[in-house]
Amino acid sequence: MTKNVTALAASLLLLASCTEEVPVNPGSGDAIAFGTVSTTRGAVTSADQITDFKVYAKKFPTGSVDLQQVSDVFYPNIVQTVTKQDNGTWTYPDQAYWLNGNTYSFLSLYPSSVEATNVVELDNGNIAHYLTISGYQVGKDEDLMMGVNHGIEASKDVTPGTVDVQFRHLLSQVDFVVKADAETVAMVGAVKVTSAKFYGTHATGDYSGKTFTTTGADKGTWTLTGNVTTVDNPTAENSIAEVPTGGVSLFGKSFILFPAKEPAKVVLTYTIGTDPTELTYEQDLSLLTPLGWEAGKSYRYTITIVDKEHILFDVPTVQPWSKGTGGIIIVE
């Protein structure tokens, strides 16, 4: 069945009737619904780029700390994928309704293709609900975002309105821009990058959202696994026939990588003017970002080739992906 709903703040909207004993799939009533977004691959900087996301939901009697009383909100499919239709409405397969006397927890994940594990456990005497992801692979240039809404209570006196999910980035974005010094080009001719390699990053990792906070102060924990890319098997490599003075992307794209202090390096081989001598420059990125990359932040390293002895590899500019909202994706 389809449902109408409007979502706010990268959002999942949950409207519902509040009765004592409402069956999971009643024949009528207000159902969960969702708002406006559109599709993308890569780093999401606007809600317009989202066309679907996945929602995990649990409920339990308010005040209970008994795991046996925790149940699924959605049925028969306990995980719902919310999808934008051609007419701009959002639909998902199975309706769900508020039940009085229950507390609800919602976890939203983008993109919907990512498989996660829905975890419920006791933590310091409270019921904890969070997601874990095993063996996640970067390198697909695809964003990964999550939002949580815990502790929403439904009662005779209080009917929850909307559940506004603020999606936050779980990964980091890294880019490299190379440019030739204008005076050098004017004096001796074009600068050519014969080889550029970026390596020293992990390709896989395991994620736990146990510590994820709605404020974004903590975006969960990554444990990196598997091999690290090497100079012989790099994360990326490229060549540039003529480096412009205004700058160009060194590898033709940005990278979406794990937030971590990686042993990453960039190696450049280049020539200047008509001199065929190849010069090599290597930069250890950990020296420029000693604390490592943080989730939800975009890092742009700028490299200026001046002459045979000088390459300026600047400390990166760092900013949230969505500057207007501090890195939060808002769906309107």
Give the Å distances, CA to CA, from 236 to 141, 166, 229: 12, 32, 9
3-class secondary structure, 93: coil
Whether 10 shows a pLDDT value over 60: the answer reads no
C-alpha 135/C-alpha 144 separation (Å) is 14
Rounded CA separation 221/261 (Å): 13
Given a cut of 50, whether residue 177 has pLDDT beyond it is: yes
Q: What is the mean pLDDT of residues 142-163?
A: 84
The three-point CA angle 96-98-99 to 5° equals 115
Reported pTM: 0.83
pLDDT(22) > 70: no
Q: Would strands 172-180 and 255-257 be described as parallel, antiparallel, or unpaired?
A: antiparallel
| pLDDT at residue 265 greater than cutoff 50 | yes
Alpha-carbon distances, residue 138 vs 124, 141, 173, 243, 255 (angstroms)? 33, 7, 11, 28, 9
CA of 60: how far to CAs of 74, 100, 143, in Å?
A: 13, 11, 32
pLDDT for position 88 = 62
Total H helices, total E strands in the chain: 1, 24
Residue 57 reports pLDDT greater than 60: yes
Q: Is 112 left (phi over 0), alpha (psi -120 to 50) or beta?
A: alpha
Give the range among 27-41, 110-124, 230-244, 248-262 with minimum mean pLDDT: 27-41
Strand pairing partners for 79?
56
CA–CA distance, 223 with 260 (Å, rounded to integer):
9
Select, from the ranges 47-56, 149-158, 271-280, the one with the highest average predicted confidence (pLDDT). Answer: 271-280
Which of 78-82, 115-119, 247-251 is predicted with the least confidence, judged by mean pLDDT? 78-82
**Residue of 168 and 83 predicted with greater confidence:** 168
Kindly indicate the confidence band of residue 48, based on its pLDDT and cuts at 50, 70 and 90.
low
pLDDT at 21: 39
Query: At residue 75, does pLDDT exceed 70?
Result: yes
Report d(CA 145, CA 168) in Å as an integer: 5
**Predicted pLDDT of residue 141:** 78
- In this prediction, residue 51 has a pLDDT band, given cuts at 50, 70 and 90, of confident
Mean pLDDT for the chain?
A: 82
